[in-house]
Chains A and B, each alone.
Chain A
């Protein structure tokens, strides 16, 4: 029994160590890719974040304050914002994947999503955004019907967020795959990314969580450092995709 527990501890420790090593390798490859190209890497990310902020502000201004109409409109608008953000994100991803493969990235790559398979990007992001919105809908309905029930609201919210996180991790390589294989349809991309991420969600989650201290530092800098942290994170995610597609994870 003691040996069994000891072996379990050892394997758990090994797994944790290898998770850390993979995350550190991806981050190192990401840093290496953006060195010397920090202008385009951080600038592209900054442009994307500013567009996203602008869209969110427009969304906030256009919505009624409460009621069923507000929830439905908010859901529709958030899907629309996600679709537009997805088109811009495709450009950001293109910049980072190019840098990862040692190719020259151009500022015009940021708008690539508008010219290269925009219909497939819209389909993929619309499906994912609709699912994300659907996961958060029960909490919003509970809040509307009974604003006093805090425990139920927060439980449903937590469940919705966990489901959303699982969805994000599962379909993280969707836009990368579309960029690498532009002939694939939206359905094929989603199927392939689901199969590709099988057993690889935990390393991706670990990689994302390893950026938490840097995000906290960005908060301290009132968001200014976020431009570089965002570029660094995207570069590390591109390195993770490269490992995923090259079978080196």
Chain B
């Protein structure tokens, strides 16, 4: 049973709003199925491949431009993969890859985003973590965490933002 209401006659209005000109003063509806139209599974496969390419691109941008760019491309890859399914029972090979790459990219980049938020929170609120980070930043870049935070407009006090 595929439809919500199986009996088309349970709503009496169905008989009035049919496409029979004798019963409906507006006559035949404008739209009729084009008899020459046939479903084209090739379009689905093409779109699936495009989605897979965007998915791979989102994984690639995770390395070079992490967080925002890959999240955008990962989401687009998933949406296009879903659309590429068409009326088929299952996803095409490309669409499956796009779903996989898009999901992996989204998970990695949301984890990165969460890690960044936790890192900044700890820098602002945890003195011990700030000292630890300070030694590493001093070794790597030659300036303190405090300088870095001031450049960003943040203050490592009791947890406030400037």
Contacts and interface: CB of A to CB of B under 8 A. Distances in A.
B71 A199 contact: no
A179 interface: yes
A182 B8 contact: no
A94 B39 CA distance: 20
B44 A35 contact: yes
Contacts of A217: 75, 78-79
Contacts, number: 134
Contact of B4 (A19, A97, A100, A195): A19
B27 interface: yes
A195 to B, nearest CB: 4
A232 B2 contact: no
Question: What is the interface of chain A mostly: helix, strand, loop, or mixed?
Answer: helix
Interface residues of B, number: 46
Given A21-B3, A224-B76, A35 B83 contact: yes
A96 to B, nearest CB: 11
Given A102-B37, A247-B18, A228 B80 contact: yes
A103 interface: yes
A210 to B, nearest CB: 12
Given A31-B83, A248-B3, A222 B72 contact: yes
Nearest to B44: A35
Contact of A199 (B11, B72, B75, B76): B11
A202 B83 CA distance: 24
Contact of A220 (B25, B71, B86): B71
A228 B32 contact: no
Given A102-B34, A103-B34, A247-B8, A195 B13 contact: yes
Contact of A225 (B5, B47, B75, B87): B75
B26 interface: yes
Nearest to A17: B1
A191 B66 CA distance: 53
B139 interface: no
Contacts of A102: 33-34, 36-37
Contacts of A232: 79, 82-83
B68 interface: yes
A22 interface: yes
A196 to B, nearest CB: 6
Interface string B33-47: 110110110011001
Contacts of B62: none
A139 B86 CA distance: 43
B25 to A, nearest CB: 8
A196 B2 contact: no
Interface of A: 14-15, 18-19, 21-22, 25, 28-29, 31-32, 34-36, 38, 97-98, 100-103, 179-184, 188, 192, 195-196, 198-200, 202-203, 214, 217-218, 220-222, 224-225, 228-229, 232, 243, 245, 247-249
30 contacts: A14-B1, A18-B1, A18-B2, A21-B1, A28-B86, A28-B87, A31-B84, A31-B85, A35-B39, A36-B40, A36-B43, A97-B31, A101-B31, A102-B33, A103-B34, A103-B37, A181-B24, A196-B13, A198-B11, A199-B5, A199-B10, A218-B79, A221-B75, A221-B76, A224-B75, A225-B76, A228-B83, A245-B29, A249-B3, A249-B8
- Nearest 5 CB-CB pairings of A with B: A102-B37, A221-B75, A36-B43, A102-B34, A181-B26
